[in-house]
Amino acid sequence: MFPKNAWYVACMPDDIADKPLGRKICGESMVFYRGPEGQAVALEDFCPHRGAPLSLGKVENGKLTCGYHGLEMGCDGKTVSMPGQRVRGFPPIRKFAVIERYGFIWVWPGNPDLADESKLHHLEWADNPAWAYGGGLFHINCDYRLMVDNLMDLTHETYVHASSIGQKEIDEAPVKTVVNGDEVITSRYMENISAPPFWRMALRGNNLADDVPVDRWQVCRFTPPSHVMIEVGVAHAGKGGYDAPAEHKAASIVVDFITPETETSIWYFWGMARSFNPQDAALTASIREGQGKIFSEDLEMLEKQQRNLLAHPDRKLLMLNIDAGGVQSRKVIDRLLAQEATQVTV
């Protein structure tokens, strides 16, 4: 169960630079490509002629041609032409609403008539040259909500990511969860602690001493359908913590777009946006590499957790105060699902 009338990250612009991309999102097999005006397009990945996947076809001058028998498909899901055929009566295929913004291609897997660009919330870091961004993509065999839980409870850093960003003080600092309409915010602040290895690297990346006590923060923000932005950072202790001036801290936003593929698998777009030394491409690469390594540590845990849950569908899991972020996020999702039950999603 996932909201279908919502914006999900589908792919990166590079993924459709040279050829169409086939990707299943929210249970729908889609083909992504650039149309004649260079605009990103998403259609059903199903040629109306014989059911071939259009994603095995070619795009030339924005025209998508089926790689099997040459049917040319239009951006609206209607067949444009086919060698030697009159195509007027050909049945159309589904077209999905798409936006390209903030460096991502977004898709609305549900009813395109309801697709509302204003529902894509603003990403300050993405359009501002004072920020740099690097990220990647993982395919994980788990329900997208397990990843939301994961990100809304960073206690797991202490255990899953012990050698990089984990530290005992995370456990010890209480979290606070607040719900603002559809947004859920879980925050944790730690004072006068030593920075773990990843953050030492980040401090050095911002030309700051890495061997002095720091204040550290984690502010996780869930917004529907399944996006989690996490403000994270460390500041030299006593300089104001989260509110410290830029020259005393290394701060960034962990960016998580979780796109369901099926009920039990996801495309996980992860990344980090930072506002220090944004022009330093080597630093971007090194942060990206470190983050990729850290985030890959979650994969086995999530996939085995999923299998455990499938084997015991009737077990009630605990909902502790550290789980409040996930619990509240699921409530938001459930509300959207209930709302969609009254909408047309196809």
What residue spans of 178-254 are helical by DSSP H? 197-205
Q: Interaction with its own copies in 123-182: which residues (CB under 8 A)?
A: 149, 153, 155-156, 158-160, 171-172, 174
313 contributes a contact to its own copies by CB under 8 A: no
Taking the complex as a whole, the smallest distance from the CB of residue 276 to its own copies amounts, in Å, to 30
187 contributes a contact to its own copies by CB under 8 A: no
335 contributes a contact to its own copies by CB under 8 A: no
Nearer to its own copies, 155 or 265 (CB): 155
Q: Interaction with its own copies in 47-76: which residues (CB under 8 A)?
A: 48-53, 56-58, 65-70
92 contributes a contact to its own copies by CB under 8 A: no
Taking the complex as a whole, the smallest distance from the CB of residue 220 to its own copies amounts, in Å, to 15
Torsion of CA 286, 289, 290, 294, to 10 degrees: 170
Taking the complex as a whole, the smallest distance from the CB of residue 76 to its own copies amounts, in Å, to 18
Taking the complex as a whole, the smallest distance from the CB of residue 312 to its own copies amounts, in Å, to 7
CA end-to-end distance (rounded Å), the chain: 15
Taking the complex as a whole, the smallest distance from the CB of residue 313 to its own copies amounts, in Å, to 11
- Cis bond upstream, residue 92 (ω within 30): no
Q: Which contacts (CB < 8 Å, 24+ apart) does range 307-310 have?
A: 309/143, 309/146, 310/264
Residue 311 burial class via C-beta count within 10 angstroms: exposed 0-12, middle 13-18, buried 19 and up: exposed
Q: How many CA atoms lie within 13 A of 228 on its CB side?
A: 31
45 contributes a contact to its own copies by CB under 8 A: yes
Q: How many CA atoms lie within 13 A of 156 on its CB side?
A: 18
Taking the complex as a whole, the smallest distance from the CB of residue 101 to its own copies amounts, in Å, to 30
Residue 339 burial class via C-beta count within 10 angstroms: exposed 0-12, middle 13-18, buried 19 and up: exposed
Q: How many CA atoms lie within 13 A of 84 on its CB side?
A: 2
Nearer to its own copies, 187 or 275 (CB): 187
215 contributes a contact to its own copies by CB under 8 A: no
Write the Ramachandran bin of 343: left for phi over 0, alpha for psi from -120 to 50, otherwise beta.
beta
Residues that bind its own copies (CB under 8 A): 29, 45-46, 48-53, 56-58, 65-70, 82-85, 90-91, 149, 153, 155-156, 158-160, 171-172, 174, 300-301, 304-305, 308-309, 311-312, 315-318, 320-323
